[in-house]
């Protein structure tokens, strides 16, 4: 029986983790739950699973720390969205607990520090994003020393076929209507702008120790192929399943084993699979992410923080969809070359970037 701690229990990843535990009670026990604001939801889950819980907005980071320490969990699923998910990742690793990681910012903002921390505390990090979960499994089977490229798939979002003029008129409501995945608002908008794929390029480069130019992106609207790898002899290998996040979550929970599950196996019949090159000029967030990944320093922190400010401004209808990359690009003009050597410095840089991003927002969007 594996004990699971669920951080971000009311979000998409957290809710699907709980679904797995409900359906596989002989394999998993929920050892603790945490969310941002919904005290009622946490109370109900604690009653259902007879576990401890905490609400981040009320209990703060100390609530997470106490929950992790008391949970006696074998693995924690971090589905917390945004930069606020970084410190909980560190707390999990500090306690020598394996981390099933869906929080991109842990890798994008502080991977060298996080990686060393995990090694010091003998804890494993298993990626939960469908793309990185796929690469993780393929790398384990084939060996990274045999690979020449990593290929991440992107659905292309709801605006894959939009013209430049159409992109100028995109509404928040349109951006929140993803064609294949059910996710939270921020990641859904990031998917529409390809910022999410940019973050995934940074993640893949760091998680698997590949230079950014060896991480490619291909648009695959059906979201059935979750990622591919190319071996040195030119052959390509893919992981294929229905677009259901419970597959990579379950894979992380049972790692390093492969076990039968209640989820339906993928059937190849009656499925169309198409692949296209990403439109980098029309969706510049992807090229900005590549640039930041190459520059290193604190540029990936800057990319992430500026994007968070810009996306929130778009949600609040303070800027247009096409102004998101302009805000980010303007913020990246500052010097972010200093490499953080501790988590406090990561957060200090993050805070500085947000101030600059707000300035960029005011410059580009004026009095909107």
- pLDDT score recorded for residue 367: 52
**pLDDT at position 18 over 70:** yes
Q: How confident is the model at residue 181 (pLDDT cuts 50, 70, 90)?
A: low
**pLDDT at position 239 over 90:** yes
Q: How confident is the model at residue 196 (pLDDT cuts 50, 70, 90)?
A: very high
Q: What would the two tokens of residue 363 be?
A: 């410059």
Phi-psi region of 229 (alpha: psi -120 to 50; beta: other; left: phi over 0): beta
Strand partners, 53: 33
**pLDDT at position 368 over 60:** no
CA distance 72 to 317: 44
> What is the maximal distance between C-alpha atoms in the chain?
57
Cβ contacts of residue 122 below 8 Å, gap of 6+? Answer: 96
**pLDDT at position 231 over 60:** yes
- pLDDT score recorded for residue 366: 78
- The average pLDDT across 319-338 equals 97
Backbone angles phi, psi at 306, to 5 degrees: -65, -40
The closest of 284, 113, 111, 299 to 210, measured between CA atoms, is 111
Q: Over the stretch 78-87, which tens digit does the pLDDT of each residue have?
A: 999 888 999 9
Q: Is the peptide bond before 256 cis (omega within 30 degrees of 0)?
A: yes
Per DSSP, the chain holds a count of helices (H) and strands (E) of 15, 10
- pLDDT score recorded for residue 179: 65
Q: How many CB atoms lie within 10 A of CB 234?
A: 8
The average confidence (pLDDT) of the chain is 95
Q: Which residue has the tokens 């290929």?
A: 151
Q: Over the stretch 48-98, which tens digit does the pLDDT of each residue have?
A: 999 999 999 999 999 999 999 999 999 999 999 888 999 999 999 999 999
In this prediction, what percent of the chain has a pLDDT beyond 90?
A: 92
CA distance 353 to 334: 9
**pLDDT at position 285 over 60:** yes
SS3 labels along 313-341 = HHHCCCCCHHHHHHHHHHHCCCCCCCCCC
Q: How confident is the model at residue 151 (pLDDT cuts 50, 70, 90)?
A: very high
Q: What would the two tokens of residue 265 be?
A: 């196996």
Q: How confident is the model at residue 182 (pLDDT cuts 50, 70, 90)?
A: low
- pLDDT score recorded for residue 74: 97
CA distance 330 to 115: 30
Q: Over the stretch 20-42, which tens digit does the pLDDT of each residue have?
A: 999 999 999 999 999 999 999 99
**Strand duo 98-101 + 28-35: pairing:** unpaired
Burial class of residue 348 (count of CB atoms within 10 Å of its CB; 0-12, 13-18, 19+): middle
In this prediction, what percent of the chain has a pLDDT beyond 70?
A: 98
Q: How many CB atoms lie within 10 A of CB 111?
A: 17
Q: Over the stretch 106-137, which tens digit does the pLDDT of each residue have?
A: 999 999 999 999 999 999 999 999 999 999 99
DSSP 268: -
**pLDDT at position 167 over 70:** yes
Q: Are 192 and 257 in contact (CB under 8 A)?
A: no
- pLDDT score recorded for residue 32: 98
Burial class of residue 270 (count of CB atoms within 10 Å of its CB; 0-12, 13-18, 19+): exposed
CA distance 348 to 62: 20
- The average pLDDT across 262-277 equals 94
Q: Are 82 and 187 in contact (CB under 8 A)?
A: no
């Amino acid at each position: 029986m594996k004990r699971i701690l669920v951080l971000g229990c009311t979000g998409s990843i957290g809710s699907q983790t709980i679904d797995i535990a409900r359906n596989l009670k002989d394999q998993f026990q929920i050892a603790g739950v945490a969310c941002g604001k919904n005290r009622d939801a946490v109370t109900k889950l604690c009653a259902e699973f007879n576990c401890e819980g905490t609400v981040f907005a009320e209990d703060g980071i100390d609530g997470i720390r106490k929950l992790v320490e008391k949970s006696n969990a074998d693995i924690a699923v971090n589905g917390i969205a945004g930069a606020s998910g970084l410190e909980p990742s560190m707390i999990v690793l500090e306690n020598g607990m394996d981390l099933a990681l869906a929080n991109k910012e842990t890798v994008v903002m502080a991977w060298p520090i996080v990686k060393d921390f995990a090694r010091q505390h003998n804890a494993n990090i298993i990626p939960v994003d469908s793309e990185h979960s796929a690469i993780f499994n393929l790398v384990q089977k084939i060996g990274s020393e045999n690979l020449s490229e990593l290929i991440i798939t992107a659905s292309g979002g709801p605006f894959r076929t939009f013209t430049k003029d159409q992109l100028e008129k995109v509404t928040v409501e349109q951006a929140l209507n993803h064609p294949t995945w059910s996710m939270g608002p921020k990641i859904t908008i990031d998917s529409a702008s390809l910022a999410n794929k940019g973050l995934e390029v940074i993640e893949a480069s760091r998680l698997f120790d590949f230079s950014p130019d060896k991480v490619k992106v291909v648009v695959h609207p059906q979201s059935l192929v979750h990622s591919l790898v190319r071996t040195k002899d030119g052959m390509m290998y893919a992981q294929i399943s229905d677009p259901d996040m419970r597959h990579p979550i379950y894979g992380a929970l049972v790692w390093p084993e492969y076990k039968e599950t209640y989820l339906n196996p993928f059937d190849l019949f009656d499925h169309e699979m198409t692949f296209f090159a990403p439109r980098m000029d029309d969706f510049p967030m992807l090229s900005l992410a590549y640039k930041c990944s190459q520059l290193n320093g604190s540029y990936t922190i800057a990319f992430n923080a500026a994007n968070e400010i810009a996306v929130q401004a778009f949600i609040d209808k303070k800027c247009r969809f096409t102004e998101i990359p302009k805000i980010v690009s303007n913020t990246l003009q500052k010097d972010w070359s200093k490499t953080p050597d501790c988590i406090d410095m990561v957060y200090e840089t993050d805070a500085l970037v947000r101030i600059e991003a707000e300035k960029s927002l005011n410059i580009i969007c004026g009095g909107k």
